[in-house]
Structure 1
Amino acid sequence: MKRTILFFQAALACLLVGCKQVPESPRLQDEVRYVDPFIGTGFHGHTFPGVTRPYAMVQLSPDTHILGWDASSGYHYDDDHIYGFSHTHLSGTGIGDLGDVALLPFSGGDSIKPVATFKKDTEKATPGYYAVRLDNFGINVELTSTDRVGFHKYTYDNPKERRVLLDLGHILQPNWGHKLIGNQYLLVNDSTVEGTVKTQGWAHFHSMSYRITFSEPIETVYQYIGGKLRKDSLFLRLNTAEDLKFHYKFAEKAQPLYVKVALSVVDPEGAEKNLEAELPGWDFDKTREESTHIWNEALNLIQIEADPKVMVNFYTALYHTMIAPFAYQDVDGRYLGMDKKVHTAEPGYVNYSVFSLWDTFRALHPLMTIINPDLATDWGKVLVQGYKEGGILPKWPLASSYTGCMVGYPAVSVLADLVMKDLAEGDMSTWAEAGARSSVYREDLAEKFKGTRELDLITMHPYYKEKYGFVPADSVPESVSWGLEMAYEDWCISQIAKKAGNIELANEYAKKAEYYKRYLDPETKMMRPVMGDGSFRTPFNPRYSSHMKSDYTEGNAFQWSFFAPHDMDNFIAAIGGKKELETRLDTLFTTSSQIDGAEASGDITGLIGQYAHGNEPSHHMAYLYNWTDSPWKGQGYLDYIMQNFYTNEPDGIIGNEDCGQMSAWYVMSALGFYQVSPGIPVYTLGRPMVNKASMHVKGGIFEIVATNNSPANKYVKEVKLNGKVLETPFISHSDIINGGKLEFIMTDQPVK
């Protein structure tokens, strides 16, 4: 049968909810067994296999890759050597940083910087536990952690040569300008050291304090300052900008050596408090078991039944959505704010860092509004608090720095979605003010950030938008991407302003939300760069890409010509109606995958035609078939994407995982729905990969059933919500959080 079209405005008003039957609350299941932390560590997924807890500060993992793009997480699956086990990492990003406080057990030798070798078949990783054998040293390493403490266990074959390297000069991607700027070190007693490492990299300023406690006294210390062995005296205290390395030798004993490394975002005293609060004892197995239980509780937010490969993909993806943002705050409530000052949080407030917002506004944050709404609310508070501290909403905040990375001001998308789902807490006038002041060129902040990497946050794109109503391509690069995203984000600000009761501001930004139309070429039906004189740039090659230099961010015209998520009705009308939309989508998915340009963006991966699943601007496009009379086409492409671009292998993620966005897309899509426009609380339906799923929601349990589901039966014949047949492929946020049952009837034939 033909599916009728339903646009979001109608969906908000007309979606019906029948009487729901709420199933029994599911019991805790062992979902940890399905998680494979090695998925995403190959190709350019840039994830890491080490240990952490959900949204925890400590992310303890082996560093096997130091230089270049594939060093972004410090680990790449193809490597066979380990430089150290450092305690902080980024997951899935395209730029690296952190890698704080690296330890490496070793035996013998006189190298200042020993390097371990290992075989892949000795590596083991599950949530909260990592193990590997260091072949050249004859040492078995095991790792686990709490939120703020890394816990190491080293078992040496040779009890006479039990040594540990503490590398306080360890830096990821030093060839990208990342460097050490400060080192403070104190030998507290014969089994404890503490200090602070300060670095400059992607984050203009990053400071991490530590307290390291060994299970046995240190017998001998070899200290290297600036690469030179200092034999003259034992320095109990050091304060320098030089590289510091220490070799600790322990007495001959045929027993494991344990090490606890507590971190603090403020000072060594904070690290000591974190250690005392979270890991006062030495029971490694108990800590590991606690981590397993905590991860099981987190992963049980969604329980599914599916094909075994889908189970692994699903729970690994869900795991990856729980790595970042992470808590950036000590147990006593202190944290370093966006103003680089120490703050003490009010009771109940937790500060978070590492919001990859340009990526995660699309799926990670919408997913959390369903499965963890309290956390979603907390993240909104953190973004607004960042505005209060730093004067502008965070965009890719890292530690206490604005990196300014990527396009627009995407924090407002997260805030608007919370507003429209009744999850926003705080003064809405402040939220609206934060959005408005973050959407314009700020001379005060340009002066404040002058000479620092944080100046990347203040570009001229908003200035030109305000002056001309578009961003001229002959003035700044990536003009089209900025223009399109700012239009959507201005719409988000309009929604926040409405909630605040500021109708004048809401109307102002609603007008700006229409600026996307300025880039739409009525002849090619594509979003094209506009020159300062108002003409389209010529010649025009929709396949052309030049990373950070062309008119499109990490893509080309094909991959940016479908972005007007806040105004789908008018966008479709402007290109000629839903039949023309279908034609444009058909062309997108079936045209040649050739990308032109000698310096084309390496982020363009996972191609189906010119659709690029390896990067975020494409993530909503297969769902746009639901705005046509052929939703079955989108179902077919969704099936292909989930079958081919998400696998159980180390290279099983087709591009940068991006702090949970690639994974959140899979989780939502495997459940059978996706939110095309955060800020409009409506989800559009797709092709579920799970056979059954259940989620704890505000109203009880929301259950998803895919009847007759199989690899062959990839098309949707019919959908029922609480027993009533849906006439359109849309459901509302309230349909989900109120609890109930969504049933897909699957078939092997397209439903035309």
Structure 2
Amino acid sequence: MKNLSFFILVFFLSFLSPAFAAYDNLYLVGNATEAGWDPDAAIPMEKQEPGIFTWTGTLSDYSIDEGRFKFLVSNKWEPSITCRIDIAGHLLVESGKEYDLYERATANDGFDNAFQVPVTGVYTIRVNLNTMKMVCTGGDVIARENWEYVRPEIGADGEGHVFPGVCVPFGMVKLGADCGDRTNNSGWGRGGNIQGFSHLHVSGTGGGPKYGNILFQPITGDLNLSDYSSARSNERFGLGLYEVSLSKYNVGVRLTASAKAGFHEYTFPQSESSKILIDAGSCLTLHVESQELVASGVKILSNKEIEGYSTVKGGWNLGGPYTVYFYALLDTPADEYTVWKGTSVQSGEQVDATGTEKTGAYFGFHTTEGQKVRVKVGISFISTEKAKANISELSSWDFDEIRNAGIAQWKEVLNTVEVEGNDNDKTIFYSALYHAFLQPTDRTGENPLWESSEPYFDDYYAIWDTFRATHPLFALLKPSRQADIVRSMIDIYEHEGYMPDGRSGNCNGRVQGGSNSDVLIADAIVKNLPGIDYEKGLAAMIKNAEVEPENPRNEGRGGVEEYNTKGYISTVTERSGTRTFEYAYCDYAIATVAKKLGKQDVYEKYLERSNNWKNLWNDNINSLGFKGFLWPKNGSGDWVNEKDYNVFRRDGWEGIVYESFPWEMSFYVPHDVNGLIARCGGKEAFLKRLDTYFTHVQDGFDQNSYMGLFQISNEPAFLVPSLYNYVNRPDKAAEIVRRVLKERYNTTATGLPGNDDSGSMSAWYIFHAMGFYPNAGQDIYLISSPVFTKTTINLDGGKVFEVLAPNASDKNIYIQSAKLNGQELGRCWLKHEEIVNGGTLELVMGDKPSDWAIDGEMPPSSPIGVEEVSPEIDSPQVRIHSYSAQVSNNEAAYCLFEEPGKGVKWCDNKSTNPWVIFELADVYMVDRFVFRDSKTVEGNNNVHSYRIYVSKTGNDGDWEEVVNRNDAEAGNANVKDHRLAEPKEARFVKFSMELPTGENAVRIYGFDIYGKLKERTDRGNLVSVGKMFLKSSGAKSFYTNARHIFDGLNENTEYHWDFDRSAADKHYCILDLEDEYDVNAFKVYDANQIEGYNIYVATETPDLNKINNSADENSVWTLVSSGDLNKTNKSVTVDRVKARYVKIEIPSGNIDGESATVTEFEVYMDGTSTGLTGTEREVTLLYPNPVKRGEPLNVAAQGRLKIYTIDGLNVCDVVVDGEASVSTQNFIPGIYLAVVSGSAGDKSFKLIVE
């Protein structure tokens, strides 16, 4: 053991009234002292001189309500001097910090604001009321082992629901107090009396409670079977220790446990009527998910032996009946004993009952003061004989010996990680590590349902929570135990038909999202966990993926038939959004295992299905300036109307997104983060989206629990901070992670940000405190920011992995540089094998962000070989160029752009070889094509043979064939999906088909092109073509929507925006120019039906939820032009103004007729603005520009120069052969459009005449 340096705490009493200096006395009070919270027993401090007091003595370590102190100026509570914090609670003092104090004039019950010492030790306190300061010096505190930092009670209060009783790792017996009305998930609660001490509990769970079976309660005095509870005092928690005094009975209680047995030690007062009461029918209850007693019974075997059972049903998973058996042995023969039923004592030594009437017994003693009576209680799910055998785990009647045996088991877990840092962080860390290993419950040898040589675990509560961090933690620190857990899941599948996703009381139940047990098998196989039959595991995964379960709340995948048919789940099934996104990842998990096992056909099938998240990705949903979110579809395949849903809606069990909301759940694509980034608009857009997620304050999102939109207690949010690593910004991940660790975790009973969920919240802390976090089901860890200066992971096989960050601190959170095993590390992620093979990660930390890893290798988004998926190129970036034929406008080629669920199609019944050519607004690198023929809707495979070509020019002879499928190859898939081995440069795409034999037409229900922008087409100053459409008011039909007005086809009236003028006071359309420009001209092409207009611009992101046909709804808009127009092509110029977003509003109802039509809306940038694209070319070809009227305009070009007024009047038409000069004498000052036509095509520029 090592001696620590003196612990010095400085407190400035800045809020004390100077009147305090006049007091002759100052007292110390609190349960850190011998006085406790009794003001009459308060300890006087020694007066050194006027206003100065000192005291030296022992202050005790804390445990929930221990270790607190404050000051009194008399033996009364009014007034007291204590710490200033915003809420009632305690303030854990830290070395060298200064704390404000203030006077409280109200009574104190001991739970009010108080200071708390971090460790037990001898301290000297010196208070100077003249200078308002207090110094607390502690000496020679003894260093502690890892287990001594464990505080079982952290997170037991509030929403954490942690079990604070006694247990060994994965122990079946979790012995602890049941408090209040027995509705607490872990049994214990701060409020209410103690009902007794039961032997089975769960930890950190939400929903209804489970267990609370076989309850013992020591009492004195008369027996009252209606209420044998007691108030408590001196409650103390420790590793393998629970201690409390029952105030009503003056009985002291100490508890400890082994894996399958509980050990009780009761210290009685002198009494002729001391009793140990056994309640065999006790269980925890809560409302809808309450447990219900089915049957119970006890049998007294001797004056110190009893056995019995309890059968209970229901609870969290609404499970069927389970039976718990017990056998108890006392070390002291009883002076009397009897049995009871209901509220009445019964004759005889045995009693049984069915239904909700409880049974039990008691043993009576004549005790002397301080007499101890000890009880061993064996528990079993098999029989009372097995329960009796389980008592053999308790080899002694010595409490400390039994406790130390349990501590030895915990050391094997807690010593797997050694950390160096301050005691506060170590307390949180080792308590979290303790909590993570409480569940699931190892019941090997205790399976009442079947005999098996495989391990048996219960209380998967639930894998939806634990697969993300808890199980990856087991796989890293205790891989053999994680292998046992996976083997147990597979064994359950073999005997019951499905693996568990939630299970308790030997019953599957509570599937919250996907079939997440699939991810555990994938996680195991990529990390090479031994001893698992992965062939059986794959069969269990495929059962989940293919067979609709009878009870989808209990097991399997609910709605899987719809999912496998449509590629998504509609709102017909609850939690459709969560399920679709999670099923896609579970399909990826199947593909992972199949690939490892060499099953290529299975791999390809489920790899393709892992893209199904995109089927609920709606690119047309806009929020906070971002485009594209998870969005539900109804049973007909249509997107749910935006009036009926929104991206901030937080749902529960029967909603669409479970324990999350679309803004957040849209980030959940852990297997295809690159594809997600692409759908979000690229790295920069994704980075901004992440920043907004963590900073935007939305109405209804309480920032006491949220951080922007982020709430760590929502498991779908677990991975989101680490997504910064996928855009090479680990510095931003560090900021979020370290803030969460500091603000949302602490050493109090409310020290967790939410339900611990079987150690999930604790495991999240553990990983990030070590400096990295897993992407579950894959073999990578994403580096964040270690809390400790040194972390040593003691791995299986004697290998060691160290994380060295010698200057890490609360300020130095940013990695400046890194080395892995002595070599420079430029990436912000690690592979599993790099850790488990042993080695050293050296990190230099600093207090400012650095460029470390900013150009490093990206984390693998798809470790098993999925190509990086480009985003879909959507209208107005793509348009129909030409086609062979179409039946009508209702079956037009433009229908190919519509969503498949709308049932619209392109039909050609006139051509033997139908074809369609798509024109992209700019040059793209295309890499994927997806189309749906009538197989999807009509049931027959309508297109057998087809080809796809790409071209940069669209000219004959310039087409490259990239897909060629014939009858044999085409197959009968619902959706035909083709990914190119290498991206192809294209501005035109041609889809050509052969009419199948016996068919008179082709029917195509959608054709999607995927790719990444390579280069913009040179349009001079025209900046609106092909840019991002955000939102508009309605159109008369799907093929006349507002997207057309940015497609560059100003002379093609087939594709236009046609709206009903009577449907709204104003119609509007909003465009995102994707960059900020200086603009000064606009042009509207219409059918001479529009007389009025308003044009607005904005540089800040508009809130599209507030758009209601009026700029007054959003203050970011600036009106730049307004007026009456009566020309077919309407052009307006404005003073130069900065714009990122443009909105055009058009009044309705001012012209006879039902509708108005806009063919194109063009936005022009100011060509003279420095730094904008095209400026150099303008200076080169037309100079000077601007030109003064009357001065010559010089032209350097090959071809024909035409100059137009902004209204379209041609004022110049000359042939230029190299160089020429044009007179501007007749030009009226203003803005003109200059077009140079040559062999390379047309180039357009803005010309300004001054």
Match of 1:681 in 2: 779
Change (3 A) 1:197 1:397: same
Change (3 A) 1:141 1:672: same
> Is 2:377 aligned against 1:261?
yes
Structure 2 CA distance for aligned equivalents of residues 174 and 181 of structure 1 = 16
> Is 2:222 aligned against 1:109?
yes
Structure 2 CA distance for aligned equivalents of residues 497 and 629 of structure 1 = 31
Structure 2 contact 269–367 (Cα < 8 Å) conserved: no
Structure 2 CA distance for aligned equivalents of residues 476 and 181 of structure 1 = 33
Please list, as runs of the form range in 1=range in 2, the aligned pairs for 1:446-595 lying within 5 A after superposition.
446=550, 456-457=554-555, 460-473=558-571, 475-523=572-620, 524-539=627-642, 540-595=645-700
Q: Per-residue deviation at 1:695?
A: 1.2
Structure 1 CA distance for aligned equivalents of residues 761 and 310 of structure 2 = 32
Structure 1 CA distance for aligned equivalents of residues 368 and 226 of structure 2 = 24
Q: Per-residue deviation at 1:629?
A: 4.2
Match of 2:789 in 1: 691
> Is 2:261 aligned against 1:142?
no
Change (3 A) 1:427 1:37: closer
Structure 2 contact 297–359 (Cα < 8 Å) conserved: no
Structure 1 CA distance for aligned equivalents of residues 311 and 395 of structure 2 = 27
Match of 1:730 in 2: 829
SS in 1 for 2:786: coil
Q: Which has the larger displacement, 292-301 or 479-488?
A: 292-301
Change (3 A) 1:258 1:113: farther
Structure 1 CA distance for aligned equivalents of residues 698 and 435 of structure 2 = 29
Q: Per-residue deviation at 1:50?
A: 0.7
> Is 2:419 aligned against 1:307?
no
Paired positions, count? 692
Q: Per-residue deviation at 1:586?
A: 1.0
Aligned residue identity for 2:213: D
SS in 2 for 1:489: helix
Structure 1 contact 605–614 (Cα < 8 Å) conserved: no
Structure 2 CA distance for aligned equivalents of residues 57 and 614 of structure 1 = 26
Q: Per-residue deviation at 1:286?
A: 0.9
Change (3 A) 1:731 1:459: closer
Q: Per-residue deviation at 1:185?
A: 2.2
Aligned residue identity for 1:491: Y
Match of 1:240 in 2: 354
Structure 2 CA distance for aligned equivalents of residues 606 and 316 of structure 1 = 22
SS in 1 for 2:601: helix
CA deviations over 1:409-465 (Å, ceiling 9, x no partner): 1111011011111115343321111001022343xx51xx6xxxx864366422221
Match of 2:327 in 1: 211
Structure 1 contact 35–316 (Cα < 8 Å) conserved: yes
> Is 2:206 aligned against 1:94?
yes
Name the structure with the higher helix share: 1
Change (3 A) 1:376 1:459: closer
Q: 1:221 aligns with which of 337, 342, 349?
A: 337
TM-score between the two structures when normalised by the length of structure 2? 0.54
> Is 2:728 aligned against 1:634?
no
Structure 1 CA distance for aligned equivalents of residues 238 and 638 of structure 2 = 56
Structure 1 CA distance for aligned equivalents of residues 419 and 698 of structure 2 = 35
Structure 1 contact 387–393 (Cα < 8 Å) conserved: yes
Q: Per-residue deviation at 1:578?
A: 1.2
Structure 2 CA distance for aligned equivalents of residues 732 and 529 of structure 1 = 36
Q: Per-residue deviation at 1:516?
A: 0.5
Change (3 A) 1:405 1:83: farther
Structure 1 contact 204–403 (Cα < 8 Å) conserved: no
Aligned residue identity for 1:240: T
Q: Which has the larger displacement, 78-87 or 646-655?
A: 78-87
Aligned residue identity for 2:662: A
SS in 2 for 1:719: strand
Structure 2 contact 802–840 (Cα < 8 Å) conserved: yes
Aligned residue identity for 1:429: E
Name the structure with the higher strand share: 2
Structure 2 CA distance for aligned equivalents of residues 147 and 30 of structure 1 = 22
Q: Per-residue deviation at 1:593?
A: 4.3
Q: Which has the larger displacement, 524-533 or 680-689?
A: 524-533
Structure 2 CA distance for aligned equivalents of residues 484 and 458 of structure 1 = 15
SS in 2 for 1:429: helix
Structure 1 contact 195–209 (Cα < 8 Å) conserved: yes
Aligned-residue RMSD, C-alpha: 2.0
Change (3 A) 1:52 1:224: same
> Is 2:259 aligned against 1:156?
no
Q: 2:239 aligns with which of 99, 109, 127?
A: 127
Structure 1 contact 380–424 (Cα < 8 Å) conserved: no
Q: 1:318 aligns with which of 402, 427, 433?
A: 433
Structure 1 unaligned blocks of 5 or more:
1-27, 597-601
Match of 1:19 in 2: none
Aligned residue identity for 1:535: D
Structure 1 contact 682–731 (Cα < 8 Å) conserved: yes
Q: 1:185 aligns with which of 295, 298, 305?
A: 298
Structure 2 CA distance for aligned equivalents of residues 374 and 116 of structure 1 = 43
Structure 1 CA distance for aligned equivalents of residues 519 and 762 of structure 2 = 19
Structure 1 contact 495–506 (Cα < 8 Å) conserved: yes
Structure 2 CA distance for aligned equivalents of residues 371 and 256 of structure 1 = 40
Q: 1:384 aligns with which of 477, 485, 490?
A: 490
Change (3 A) 1:685 1:207: same
Q: Per-residue deviation at 1:682?
A: 0.8
Aligned residue identity for 2:262: G
Q: Per-residue deviation at 1:262?
A: 0.4
Structure 2 contact 281–295 (Cα < 8 Å) conserved: no
SS in 1 for 2:564: helix
TM-score between the two structures when normalised by the length of structure 1? 0.89
Change (3 A) 1:247 1:174: farther
Structure 2 contact 222–273 (Cα < 8 Å) conserved: no
Aligned residue identity for 2:596: K
Q: Per-residue deviation at 1:222?
A: 4.5
Match of 1:282 in 2: 397
Structure 1 contact 184–196 (Cα < 8 Å) conserved: yes
CA deviations over 1:249-306 (Å, ceiling 9, x no partner): 123345201111100121111111111x312432222111222222223210101101
Structure 2 CA distance for aligned equivalents of residues 461 and 595 of structure 1 = 32
CA deviations over 1:151-207 (Å, ceiling 9, x no partner): 000001233231122112212124333101121322222211112211002332222
Match of 2:764 in 1: 665
SS in 1 for 2:272: coil
Aligned-pair identity (%): 28
CA deviations over 1:362-391 (Å, ceiling 9, x no partner): 011111111111111111111111101111
Q: Per-residue deviation at 1:631?
A: 2.3
Q: 2:475 aligns with which of 369, 381, 385?
A: 369
Change (3 A) 1:297 1:698: closer
Structure 2 unaligned blocks of 5 or more:
1-142, 621-626, 852-1250
Match of 1:172 in 2: 284
Q: Per-residue deviation at 1:237?
A: 4.8
SS in 1 for 2:275: strand
> Is 2:512 aligned against 1:403?
no
Bigger relative contact order, structure 1 or 2 (CA pairs below 8 A, ≥6 apart): 1
Q: 2:839 aligns with which of 735, 740, 749?
A: 740
Structure 1 CA distance for aligned equivalents of residues 546 and 245 of structure 2 = 53
Change (3 A) 1:546 1:420: closer
Structure 1 CA distance for aligned equivalents of residues 590 and 186 of structure 2 = 34
Please list, as runs of the form range in 1=range in 2, the aligned pairs for 1:407-422 lying within 5 A after superposition.
407-422=513-528
SS in 2 for 1:693: strand
Please list, as runs of the form range in 1=range in 2, the aligned pairs for 1:39-58 lying within 5 A after superposition.
39-58=154-173
Structure 1 contact 439–462 (Cα < 8 Å) conserved: yes
> Is 2:306 aligned against 1:200?
no
Aligned residue identity for 2:419: I
Structure 2 CA distance for aligned equivalents of residues 744 and 116 of structure 1 = 55
Match of 1:624 in 2: 723
Q: Per-residue deviation at 1:488?
A: 0.2
SS in 2 for 1:160: strand
SS in 1 for 2:172: coil
